[in-house]
Amino acid sequence: MANINNFSVSTLPKSYPEHSYKNRFLIAYAFPCSVKFSYFYKGDSSKALVLGEVEDVVNKFNDLDSMLKRVFSKVDPLLVVSLIFDRSASGKSIYTLETILKEGLDTEVVRNNVISKTGMAPAFYLRGTKMIVSHPLDLEFLKWINDQEGVVSIKGSKFSAGGSSDF
């Protein structure tokens, strides 16, 4: 057993009774031909770091991140997360979206399509490659926008009382 920065490091198996489970977490080191397990103990503290729970949260987050990138490939993940939190609230919240479009699209066709879907008229910038519009939004409508031909990327934020946005 050795001490490193107030942690005791041991390669003893879990079954040693002098070390309670509460004060131990496992680190596995993968080597080309084997796996080495080390147990770290933090004094007699009643606050235990349960690395398995932390790793579980990180793994689930990484799974969510992968799925968000697959399903909402053109959307800023923070916008999707915001809509997931809003989903529990009643009704659709109003969001201001910044949509980057491919060059050469007919902005009048895009404008008419947006007006027919949302009732709101978008503003175009940078020779028609950037569109800003505020309207009610939910995950299903965001997915529809994500899947439109000509859309490069989508960012957005909840519409605030002052009309400002976070992007």
pLDDT band, very low/low/confident/very high, at 165 (cuts 50, 70, 90): low
Is the model's pLDDT at 144 over the cut of 90?
Answer: yes
The answer, yes or no, to whether residue 153 has pLDDT greater than 70, is: yes
Instruction: Tell me the mean pLDDT in the region 149-160.
Output: 91
pTM for the whole thing? Answer: 0.63
Q: What is the pLDDT of residue 28?
A: 44
- Decide if 61 contacts 132 (C-beta within 8 A): no
At residue 27, does pLDDT exceed 50?
Answer: no
* pLDDT for res 2: 52
Whole-number CA gyration radius for the chain: 25
Same domain, residue pair 84 and 122: yes
Are residue 154 and residue 92 in the same domain, yes or no?
Answer: yes
**Phi and psi torsions of 58, nearest 5°:** -65, -45
Q: Which CATH number do you get for residue 85? A: 3.30.70
Same domain? 80 vs 24: no
For residue 125, the enclosing domain spans 73-158
Does 82 lie in the same domain as 42?
A: no
Report the pLDDT averaged over residues 83-107: 87
pLDDT band per the 50, 70, 90 thresholds, residue 38: very low
Residue 166 maps to a domain: no
pLDDT tens digits, one per residue of 57-79? 899 999 999 999 999 999 999 99
Sequence-ordered list of residues with C-beta below 8 angstroms from that of 92, at least 6 positions apart, any chain: 136, 137, 138, 141
The answer as to whether 35 is a domain residue is yes
Asked whether residue 164 is domain-assigned, the answer is no
The pLDDT, as a whole number, for residue 37 is 43
Decide if 154 contacts 74 (C-beta within 8 A): yes
Predicted pLDDT of residue 53: 81
Q: Does position 39 have pLDDT exceeding 90, yes or no?
A: no
Distance CA 130, CA 60 (A): 34
